[in-house]
């Protein structure tokens, strides 16, 4: 029988200090019963002799010192699971949202998970075609990768994430997939956008929704991504599914972490965020991947809004150090009405090299994407130069770069929300854009590919118009 | 009866236990009945603060703490090479076989395989006298590495018996008559990780350590036994550089520490290294490599220990007389682990919340590098340990305390720049900000073994690149046409240096590694072009014609010349001459 304590001695922010406690464990789950009979959840942050420091997920309003009873549950926070979780909606703490969302559990797992043994990992190298040129061609996503979208307020990150969820496919394969959608402190409208999109495409039956909306308790957000990832691990590694996890918005998660840290009066690291923010984020992001001998995989697309579009802010900065690349959205492209406004130059997929090339995408992929990058970077420089000097002052070759950068933005980066380009189309489009350069400028491409492809597109140009032109 | 402590406080990775009198600082303890490993890092009365190397969820007040009475040690002996360990030397492959896909708590496994038999060859005779550090025998551990068995520290005397043949690491292979009686020696040794292994004498580094990376070898060379750091924002290619160095650096043994980094990166190394072959011996690179993987989601205290575990192994191979290179990716994560533990201890923080002893810890880590005369009474062998640390400053800001503390001790600074990475110039090592302080000490060795004009070429190329950055400002304001002919040749040549020499594709079969001979030929050709162009400009050649010369295409493709054909690079000079001659010919 679990003991109940009525010995709360202090309440500050989301934290309770309980005294006279026997045998409380670190990270233990706690139930708090208020005077009115309602129950809240918490977890033990620290035990010190007979004192236990408890973090309350749903907030401390209404809790008093005299009548509130605290019960230590003798175990960590768990998520109850069965294949029926597909199509269901859960709260940020992993409880069924409505009666309809109840399941008969097959097993329960600790939401904190355990680190995957690096030796047990299988390298992610299966190309995922998202149908978005800037991702497939330049920042290739592979199964088991964690590729965040760095966005800013007012930018269409949700549209990209929904488009990826809608269009993602592995070439030549039909396999079981699932989407775990984790809403962390986003608004009702934003979450409804995803849900409607999933409904429209029928993906809703293959989805697990874990929702902590903006008006839900803030501290609960610390548990929310972990609940979602526990579902994902169950589906991927026990039920052999390929799971795409969308976490939005990680900035709200970090804010919740900061709130708890501040309440504990911990020494802050940069900009008031706790010093362990990196480690804490890693325990979330590193739960993506593939495991040797298991069929399933977890691919993560965390979305975060950068405060003031500042990439050096601790949240995007530390995320970038953990994830395998980043898709950065650009406000200036968005203003130019280029959509999706992917800022190509600072975006990156670290795992692309293993997912592209012969047998995966096409032999010329690596060389062309290097060339496109280099050419676009030079084109942007030339454009800056032209602002100062005027276009007329540019050398002949720079004029080609100038034009290339414009065409690249309008034809390659820009594409419709429902336009699903195959990788062949994306690669050919790249060649078509590059074909305006004299051959000697294309230094990043091997001779054999220049022979094979360049001639084809130089000819093409005379006969037909490029797409979008 | 053994003394047992009792837990009074648990806060994350920090556990405080009472009744711990009798233990010493940095002794290892086992926490709770789960036997989680921890280390004592503070005493207050009989209260000991313990950093625990595993997750502490579920641990509560009143649970026992068992002191082990000795500091954190690593096991050293045959079987290290080709292994992958976590931060406290638990073999991840064995854990995978025994436990499964996840690292659960309280697992333990022997660091070195206890069953495997090694073929031991004695190198001393019975009746001979040995001191600590003397080599008594050898095991051919891999095709590449002879694993020398050294007399353990604290043992000296006459060899009474020495075996030959098949032994496990725990079998007694030799018996030594010491002043205190007989001592058996097995192939396994233990060494406390926080204590540097002793040597007879330290020397100044004087030979270069080539890496096959052009910007490093030609511009900012590393010395054997030297230290270097690679700071850069995320996405600037730190890890790729570390991997490239681990693959191609001219060292005999590689220790690679993945300290708080991505799990998939370690998988990459694990899958790639057994397939890559050493350019000199043709043997898979994994046969000379030890991996230490404490990824970012693994316990933070073990991350703190991982760099010490790694460098102790590196010193052990150094003591055999090898040239060892250690890569730590990333030291910032190590510093953050220190910061986290320090915060839990409620120590007064220094800059950015890092502990005040950050600089001291970093310095004493890098100071374990060097060229040494190994401890031995019998021979004069020398070993070298070179250390290359990646640093991940927040936002790429070099004023970060970890970067600054590192720069105070290391001699080579390869500064990675985001702008270079964005234009896909890799390795994104800035040629303007980086430096190597080894240029002087390795001068003699380079002029004798590489070429007389290495430093002239280096200086000329650097001068051109610096001039380019000045000229760029002017171009930005008034356009390229405003530049004089010679200045435009500078711009042209600098672009060649950047795109055709410094840029190097790590994922291209040939370009990934350039021998120093090839590098020398390449830069020599570009500088040759520069001088010829200046000459012909004086003779009246048109700058636009020079800019459009066909030979530029051949120069651009030098990097793809395979190593068997590098003499073909010399032919380019003839092409340069004939094309310039033709240009002048047309004029007259």
pLDDT per residue over A377-414, tens digit each? 999 989 988 888 888 878 888 999 999 999 999 999 99
What are the backbone dihedrals phi and psi of residue B171, each rounded to the nearest 5 degrees, phi first?
-65, 150
pLDDT of chain B along its 588 residues, tens only? Answer: 468 999 999 988 899 999 998 899 999 999 999 999 999 999 999 999 999 988 898 899 999 999 998 999 999 999 999 999 999 999 999 999 998 899 888 888 899 999 999 999 999 999 999 999 999 999 999 988 999 999 999 999 999 999 999 999 999 999 999 999 999 999 999 999 999 999 999 999 999 999 999 999 999 999 999 999 999 988 888 888 999 999 999 999 999 999 988 888 888 888 888 888 877 778 888 899 999 999 998 888 899 999 999 999 999 999 999 999 999 998 999 999 998 888 888 888 888 889 999 999 999 999 999 999 999 998 999 999 999 999 999 888 899 999 999 999 999 999 999 888 887 889 999 999 999 999 999 999 999 999 999 999 999 999 999 999 999 988 878 878 889 999 999 999 999 999 999 999 988 889 999 999 999 999 999 999 999 999 999 998 899 899 888 898 899 989 999 988 999 999 999 999 999 998 887 765
pLDDT at A236 over 50: yes
- Residues of B within 8 A of A444 (CB-CB) are 424
Section A274-302 average pLDDT: 93
Residue of B nearest to A48 (CA): B9
- ipTM attached to this prediction: 0.85
pLDDT score for B167: 96
CA separation for the pair B399, B414 (Å, rounded): 15
Axis-axis angle for helices A157-167, A188-201 (nearest 10): 20
Specify the CATH number for B201-436; select among 3.30.450.20, 3.40.630.30, 3.40.50.300, 1.20.1420.20: 3.40.50.300
CA separation for the pair B105, B86 (Å, rounded): 13
Question: B111 to chain A, minimum CA–CA distance in Å?
Answer: 15
**Residue to test with chain A: of B15, B47, B97, B424, most A Cβ within 10 A:** B424
Class of domain B454-587: mainly alpha
- Residues of B within 8 A of A346 (CB-CB) are 235, 418, 422
Contact B519, B453 (CB under 8 A): no
CA separation for the pair A327, A137 (Å, rounded): 13
Contact B369, B308 (CB under 8 A): no
Q: What are the structural domain ranges in chain B?
A: 5-71, 201-436, 454-587
A275 to B340: CB separation less than 8 angstroms, yes or no: yes
Number of other residues whose CB lies within 10 A of the CB of residue B120: 24
Q: Is residue A137 within 8 angstroms of chain B, CB to CB?
A: no
A114 to B102: CB separation less than 8 angstroms, yes or no: yes
CA separation for the pair A226, A286 (Å, rounded): 11
Residue of B nearest to A287 (CA): B297
Look-up of token digits 């600037």: B236
pLDDT score for B345: 84
CA distances to B57, B312, B385 from B365, in Å: 31, 10, 12
- Residues of B within 8 A of A447 (CB-CB) are 557
CA distances to A53, A106, B25, B462 from B67, in Å: 27, 41, 11, 58
A267 to B349: CB separation less than 8 angstroms, yes or no: yes
Closest to A372 in 3D by CA, of A362, A363, A360, A380: A380
**B201-436 and B454-587, same CATH topology:** no
pTM for this entry: 0.91
- Residues of B within 8 A of A394 (CB-CB) are 479
CA separation for the pair B16, A51 (Å, rounded): 14
Residue of B nearest to A294 (CA): B101
DSSP A363-396: TTHHHHHHHHHHHHHHHHHHHHHHHHH-GGGS-H
Section A115-121 average pLDDT: 92
CA distances to A30, B538, B539 from A78, in Å: 12, 80, 82
Strands B289-294 and B181-186: unpaired
CA distances to A75, A127, B7, B82, B291 from B14, in Å: 20, 42, 11, 33, 27
pLDDT at A459 over 70: no
A144 to B264: CB separation less than 8 angstroms, yes or no: yes
Architecture of domain B5-71: Beta Barrel (2.40)
CA dihedral B498, B504, B508, B514 (to 10 degrees): 120
Q: Is residue A107 within 8 angstroms of chain B, CB to CB?
A: no
Torsional class of A304: left (φ above 0), alpha (ψ -120 to 50), beta (otherwise): beta
pLDDT score for A331: 94
Number of other residues whose CB lies within 10 A of the CB of residue A259: 18
- Residues of A within 8 A of B266 (CB-CB) are 118, 121
- Residues of B within 8 A of A145 (CB-CB) are 264
A119: which 2 tokens?
A: 């030796």
CA distances to A165, A200, A333, B66, B537 from A418, in Å: 12, 13, 19, 63, 57
pLDDT score for A468: 39
Strands B435-436 and B172-178: unpaired
């Amino acid at each position: 029988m679990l003991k109940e304590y009525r010995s709360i001695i202090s309440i500050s922010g989301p934290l309770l200090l309980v005294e006279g406690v026997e045998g409380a464990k670190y990270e233990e789950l706690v139930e708090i019963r208020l005077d009115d009979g309602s129950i809240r959840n918490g977890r033990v942050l620290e035990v010190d002799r007979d004192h236990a420091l408890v973090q309350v997920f749903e907030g401390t309003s209404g809790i008093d010192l005299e009548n509130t009873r605290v019960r230590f549950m003798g175990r960590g926070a768990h998520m109850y699971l069965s294949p029926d979780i597909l199509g269901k909606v859960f709260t940020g703490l992993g409880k069924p949202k409505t009666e309809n969302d109840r399941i008969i559990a097959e097993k329960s797992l600790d939401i904190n998970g355990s680190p995957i043994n690096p030796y047990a990992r299988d390298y992610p190298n299966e190309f995922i075609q998202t149908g978005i040129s800037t991702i497939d061609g330049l920042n290739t996503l592979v199964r088991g990768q964690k590729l965040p979208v760095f966005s800013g307020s007012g930018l269409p990150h949700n549209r990209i994430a929904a488009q990826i969820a809608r269009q993602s496919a592995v070439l030549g394969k039909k396999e079981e997939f699932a989407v775990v959608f984790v809403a962390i402190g986003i608004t009702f409208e934003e979450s409804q956008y995803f849900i409607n999109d999933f409904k429209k495409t029928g993906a809703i039956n293959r989805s697990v929704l874990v929702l902590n909306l903006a008006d839900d308790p803030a501290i609960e957000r610390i548990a929310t991504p972990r609940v979602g990832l526990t579902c994902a691990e169950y589906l991927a590694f026990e039920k052999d599914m390929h799971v795409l996890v969308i976490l939005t918005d990680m900035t709200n998660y970090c804010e919740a972490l900061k709130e708890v840290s501040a309440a504990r009066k911990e020494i802050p690291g940069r900009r008031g965020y706790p010093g362990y923010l990196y480690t804490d984020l890693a325990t979330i992001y590193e739960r993506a991947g593939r495991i040797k001998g298991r069929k399933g995989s977890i691919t993560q697309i965390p979305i975060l809004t950068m405060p003031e579009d500042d990439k050096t802010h601790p949240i995007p900065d530390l995320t970038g150090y953990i994830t395998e690349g980043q898709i950065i959205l650009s406000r200036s492209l968005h203003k130019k009405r280029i959509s999706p406004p992917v800022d190509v130059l600072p975006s990156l997929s670290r795992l692309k090299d293993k997912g592209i090339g012969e047998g995966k995408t096409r032999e010329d992929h690596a060389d062309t994407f290097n060339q496109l990058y280099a050419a676009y970077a030079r084109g942007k420089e030339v454009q800056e130069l032209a602002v100062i000097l005027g276009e007329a002052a540019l050398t002949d070759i720079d004029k080609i770069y100038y034009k290339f950068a414009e065409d690249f933005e309008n034809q390659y980066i820009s594409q419709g929300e429902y336009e699903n380009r195959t990788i062949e189309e994306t690669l050919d489009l790249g060649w078509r854009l590059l074909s305006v350069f004299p051959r000697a400028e294309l230094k990043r491409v091997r001779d054999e590919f220049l022979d094979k492809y360049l001639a084809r597109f130089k000819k093409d140009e005379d006969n037909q118009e490029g797409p979008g032109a | 009866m053994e003394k047992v402590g009792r837990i009074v406080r648990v806060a994350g990775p920090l556990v405080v236990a009472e009744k711990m009198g009798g233990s010493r600082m940095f002794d290892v303890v086992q926490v709770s009945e789960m036997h989680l490993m921890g280390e004592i890092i503070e005493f207050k009365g009989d209260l000991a603060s313990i950093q625990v190397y595993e997750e502490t969820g579920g641990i509560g007040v009143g649970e026992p703490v068992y002191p082990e009475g000795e500091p954190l040690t690593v096991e050293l002996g045959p079987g290290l090479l080709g292994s992958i360990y976590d931060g406290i030397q638990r073999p991840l492959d064995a854990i995978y076989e025994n436990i499964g896909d996840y690292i659960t708590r309280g697992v333990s496994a022997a660091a070195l395989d206890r069953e495997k038999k090694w073929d031991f060859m004695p190198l001393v005779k019975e009746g001979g006298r040995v001191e600590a550090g003397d080599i008594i025998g050898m095991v051919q551990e891999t095709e590449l590495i002879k694993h020398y068995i050294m007399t353990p520290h604290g043992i000296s005397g006459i060899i009474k018996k020495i075996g030959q043949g098949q032994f496990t690491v725990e079998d007694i292979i030799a018996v030594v008559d010491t002043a205190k009686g007989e001592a058996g020696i097995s192939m396994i040794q233990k060494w406390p990780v926080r204590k540097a292994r002793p040597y007879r004498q330290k020397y100044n580094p004087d030979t270069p350590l080539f890496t096959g990376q052009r910007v490093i070898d030609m511009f900012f060379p590393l010395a054997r036994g030297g230290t270097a750091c690679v700071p850069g924002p995320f996405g600037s290619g730190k890890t790729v550089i570390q991997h490239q160095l681990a693959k191609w650096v001219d060292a005999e043994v590689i220790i690679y520490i993945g300290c708080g980094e991505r799990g998939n990166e370690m998988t990459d190394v694990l899958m790639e290294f057994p397939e890559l072959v050493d350019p000199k011996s043709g043997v898979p690179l994994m046969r000379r490599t030890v991996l230490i993987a404490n990824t970012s989601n693994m316990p933070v205290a073990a991350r703190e220990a991982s760099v010490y575990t790694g460098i102790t192994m590196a010193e052990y191979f150094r003591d055999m007389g090898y040239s060892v290179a250690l890569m730590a990716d990333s030291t910032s994560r190590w510093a953050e682990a220190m910061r986290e533990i320090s915060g839990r201890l409620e120590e007064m923080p220094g800059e950015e919340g890092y502990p005040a002893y950050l600089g001291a810890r970093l310095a004493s880590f890098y100071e374990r590098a060097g060229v040494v005369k190994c401890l031995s009474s019998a021979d004069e062998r020398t070993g070298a340990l070179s250390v290359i640390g990646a640093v991940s400053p927040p936002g790429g800001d070099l004023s970060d305390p970890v970067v600054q503390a590192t720069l105070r001790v290391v001699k080579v600074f390869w500064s990675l720049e985001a702008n270079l990475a964005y234009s896909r110039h890799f390795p994104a090592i800035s040629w303007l900000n980086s430096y190597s302080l080894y240029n002087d000490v390795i001068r003699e060795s380079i002029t004798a073994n590489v070429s007389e004009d290495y430093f002239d070429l280096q200086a000329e190329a650097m001068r051109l690149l610096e001039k380019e950055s000045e000229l760029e400002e002017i171009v930005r304001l008034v356009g390229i046409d405003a530049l004089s002919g010679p200045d435009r040749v500078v711009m042209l040549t600098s672009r060649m240096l950047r795109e055709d020499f410094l840029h190097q594709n790590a994922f291209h079969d040939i370009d990934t590694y350039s021998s120093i001979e090839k590098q020398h030929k390449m830069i020599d050709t570009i500088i040759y072009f520069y001088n010829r162009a200046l000459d012909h400009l004086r003779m009246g050649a048109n700058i636009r014609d020079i800019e459009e010369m066909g030979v530029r295409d051949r120069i651009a493709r030098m990097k793809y010349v395979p190593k068997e054909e590098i003499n073909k690079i010399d032919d380019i000079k003839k092409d340069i001459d004939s094309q310039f001659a033709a240009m002048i010919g047309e004029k007259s």
